[in-house]
């Protein structure tokens, strides 16, 4: 079913031409680029060190679990599993290593999702909403470009969200322990 979904998206991509493809390519590059890191650093240095630490810890935990899962399951990329899958443009050369889970989704979930949560706490719901949309656009773009299956992006999202929750909980527990021993 996952391959059929990718083939459907590939057929759609080829039928409509380059209407949506440049946007999806830009979104996927954005999630692995400089802007999310800069945004996370800006939150840390200019606004809220605690929130910046939480986002950074979520990113580190997400990347750790992502690498662990990739090396544990060794799932091949969609075009290796089925030669009918033809990733868009240079997506194939940029997508190295195993497919499961998606590293772009991991980074987007931690940086855009974590920043979105911070903006939501600060009552900036429009900015938060845009950042959450970027997470889901990144997930979809990886499918649309033919470099990940739906399972890859879903597990990338869930595993990173769980790691973000766990690192946030660990920080709260650590702060509570500090206060009790002081």
* Count of domains for the chain: 1
Model pLDDT, residue 179: 75
- The one-digit pLDDT tens for each residue of the chain (182 residues) are 799 999 999 999 988 877 888 999 999 989 888 888 888 888 899 998 888 988 988 899 999 999 999 999 999 999 999 999 999 887 777 777 899 999 999 999 999 999 999 999 999 999 999 999 999 999 999 999 999 999 999 999 999 999 999 988 888 888 877 777 76
Count of CA atoms in the C-beta half-sphere (13 A) of 165: 6
Confidence at residue 93, expressed as pLDDT on a 0 to 100 scale: 76
Per-residue pLDDT, 86: 92
**What's the pLDDT score for residue 180?**
74
Could you tell me the residue range of the domain that residue 163 belongs to?
2-91+99-181
CA dihedral (39, 41, 47, 49) in degrees, to 10, reads: 140
User: What is the model's pLDDT at position 106?
Assistant: 95
Contact in structure between 114 and 59 (CB atoms under 8 Å)? yes
The predicted structure's pLDDT at residue 167: 87
Cα 142 to Cα 140: distance, rounded to the nearest angstrom: 5
- Give the pLDDT of residue 92: 76
Residue carrying structure tokens 């080829």: 14
pLDDT at 26: 92
> pTM (2 decimals)?
0.90
């Amino acid at each position: 079913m996952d391959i059929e979904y990718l083939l459907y998206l590939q057929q759609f991509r080829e039928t409509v031409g380059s209407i949506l493809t440049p946007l999806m390519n830009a979104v996927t590059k954005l999630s692995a680029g400089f802007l999310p890191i800069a945004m996370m650093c800006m939150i840390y240095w200019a606004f809220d060190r605690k929130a910046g630490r939480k986002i950074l810890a979520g990113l580190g935990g997400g990347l750790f679990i992502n690498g662990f899962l990739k090396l544990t399951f060794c799932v091949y990329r969609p075009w290796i599993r089925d030669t009918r899958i033809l990733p868009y443009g240079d997506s194939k050369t940029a997508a190295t290593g195993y497919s499961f889970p998606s590293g772009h989704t991991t980074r987007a979930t931690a940086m855009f999702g974590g920043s979105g949560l911070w903006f939501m706490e600060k009552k900036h719901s429009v900015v938060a909403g845009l950042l959450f949309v970027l997470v889901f656009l990144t997930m979809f773009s990886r499918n649309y470009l033919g470099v990940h299956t739906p399972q890859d992006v879903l597990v990338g999202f869930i595993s990173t969200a769980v790691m973000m929750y766990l690192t946030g909980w660990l920080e709260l527990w650590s702060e509570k322990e500090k206060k009790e021993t002081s």
